[in-house]
Chains A and B, each alone.
Chain A
Amino acid sequence: MAAAGAGRLRRAASALLLRSPRLPARELSAPARLYHKKVVDHYENPRNVGSLDKTSKNVGTGLVGAPACGDVMKLQIQVDEKGKIVDARFKTFGCGSAIASSSLATEWVKGKTVEEALTIKNTDIAKELCLPPVKLHCSRKKGMRNISLNASMEVY
């Protein structure tokens, strides 16, 4: 009785394994390591990727980071005569959080003056994207300040 049950179970299990599309084909519903969907959104539909004309007098470019650290961000801002940021573009070599942080940063600085942009903190960006603490460095404040400072210095 027990033996027959075992035999049936075994056949069923084998049939299941052989017939079912192997598990790897199933939909991986959770995004990699539980990224917040805002991060995924910015990553898949990044805003403001690209470059502004770096030779133009109104455009400031800041470059921060090092390939050896796995993080390089380039941020460009176009400033009008009144000191307001009218356009911003970014390019990033870095992980998903770094890309999302840069993308969000370009969205936020548009329409602000340079002084206002300098007040943006990496903790604000991290909170908006719900980044886990380990990813804080990806949106580092010093980087932001550096970039903004470099960019604004170039313009003036």
Chain B
Amino acid sequence: MDVQATTPLDPRVLDAMLPYLINYYGNPHSRTHAYGWESEAAMERARQQVASLIGADPREIIFTSGATESNNIAIKGVARFYRSRKKHLITTQTEHKCVLDSCRSLEAEGFQVTYLPVQKSGIIDLKELEAAIQPDTSLVSVMTVNNEIGVKQPIAEIGQICSSRKVYFHTDAAQAVGKIPLDVNDMKIDLMSISGHKIYGPKGVGAIYIRRRPRVRVEALQSGGGQERGMRSGTVPTPLVVGLGAACEVAQQEMEYDHKRISKLAERLIQNIMKSLPDVVMNGDPEHHYPGCINLSFAYVEGESLLMALKDVALSSGSACTSASLEPSYVLRAIGTDEDLAHSSIRFGIGRFTTEEEVDYTVEKCIQHVKRLREMSPLWEMVQDGIDLKSIKWTQH
């Protein structure tokens, strides 16, 4: 139940990819023979499939190796192209690491970046965004759906603000594409990052949408033979992009049904856990929220120990022990979660292939083990005795 980390291949996607892994192995940029022509045709078909999912023109879709690369191209590419006149970017504190790291590397190049804070709900304050835009701001980057807490940012409103102030708007839509309806024109999005393996497509492929009208100029990160309109050189991997295209087409067909089913399963999970366990907090705004990503904090129980208990279920946690750096999740810190609750958080992911049995099993095990771990917890014991944990002077070590 960790679909925010990755998703299995939809069988229909594998079906579409196989011929291009076996027989139709031509390089789509070979102009002189049928191997090349048929691969090119498949690549362009896939481009159309991706474009139609987000309301774009196929000429605005560039294939990349994944959303990380797309984010790098969007942020560094736009910033560097306009660097003579514009030196400022805006992003949020809850973005994916690749966005934050790209911004940090731009700061080292002399750019100035504003990292907008988020409210307790996880959503940015639109007034703060407006106030942060300067005359020399080239780009605003705000992710559509957060990968840790599932919160949906007000993308259409942000697009409106950016377009009225003539600032480019980029959104990392890796967790949103194919799951909620997106339209780059309605929402006034100028750049968008797409990831293959978050939407039941293959790993190692993604795409970036770059608006043509009005044209957004981007400095290419990767030099080479000029493929993908010079914006991303390198042979386009036909089987992978065919898989991405198929995944987008399937997502478009299944979006409504998937959303309804996942919402029901999410309701079921949250309700059943909360009615059997006290002191469980859901992180992130429950209303502006994508149902398939549920982040819960179980007070007085540490996240990693709970993960160890739920060993037959694949989950992830915002606890320090599970991160390489021993620091709890920066997203939870940004929404103001108390540190001890940040250590107690678990992310449940529900996807197209998650079954009701799996949800019920996870809920049952979760309740059982949280109860057991609370029995072992000195904090729970103290709370039961009526002690206010906030009044205690904890020792340092």
- A-side interface residues toward B, CB under 8 Å? 2-3, 5-6, 9-10, 13-14, 17-18, 22-24, 27-28, 31-32, 35, 40, 43, 46, 49, 51, 63-74, 91-99, 134, 137, 140, 142-143, 146
- B-side interface residues toward A, CB under 8 Å? 8-9, 11, 14-15, 18-19, 22-23, 300-302, 304-305, 307-308, 311-312, 314, 319-321, 326, 328, 338-340, 343, 353, 358, 375-381, 389, 394-397
B residues less than 8 Å from A66 (CB atoms): 394-396
Q: A93–B307 contact, CB under 8 A?
A: no
Q: How far is the CA of A12 from the CA of B375 in the complex (A)?
A: 50
Query: What 5 A-B pairs are tightest by C-beta distance, nearest first?
Result: A67-B340, A66-B394, A70-B343, A68-B339, A74-B378
Which residue of A74, A96, A143 contacts B304 across the interface (Cβ within 8 Å)?
A96
Give the Cβ gap from A150 to chain B, nearest Cβ, in Å: 9
Q: B381–A10 contact, CB under 8 A?
A: no
Given contacts A66-B394, A93-B302, contact A6 B340 (CB under 8 A): no
Q: A63–B381 contact, CB under 8 A?
A: no
8 pairs, CB–CB < 8 Å, chain A vs chain B? A22-B8, A24-B358, A67-B339, A69-B320, A91-B376, A91-B378, A94-B302, A98-B302
Which residue of B15, B311, B379 contacts A32 across the interface (Cβ within 8 Å)?
B311
Q: A93–B14 contact, CB under 8 A?
A: no
Q: A92–B376 contact, CB under 8 A?
A: yes
Q: Which of A24, A28, A40, A73 has the most CB of B within 10 A?
A: A24
Which residue of A10, A32, A65 contacts B18 across the interface (Cβ within 8 Å)?
A10
Which residue of B11, B304, B358, B395 contacts A64 across the interface (Cβ within 8 Å)?
B395
Q: B11–A18 contact, CB under 8 A?
A: yes
Q: B397–A140 contact, CB under 8 A?
A: yes
A residues less than 8 Å from B308 (CB atoms): 31-32, 35, 40, 43, 95-96
Given contacts A32-B311, A95-B321, A96-B305, contact A72 B394 (CB under 8 A): yes
Give the Cβ gap from B156 to chain A, nearest Cβ, in Å: 35
Q: B381–A91 contact, CB under 8 A?
A: yes
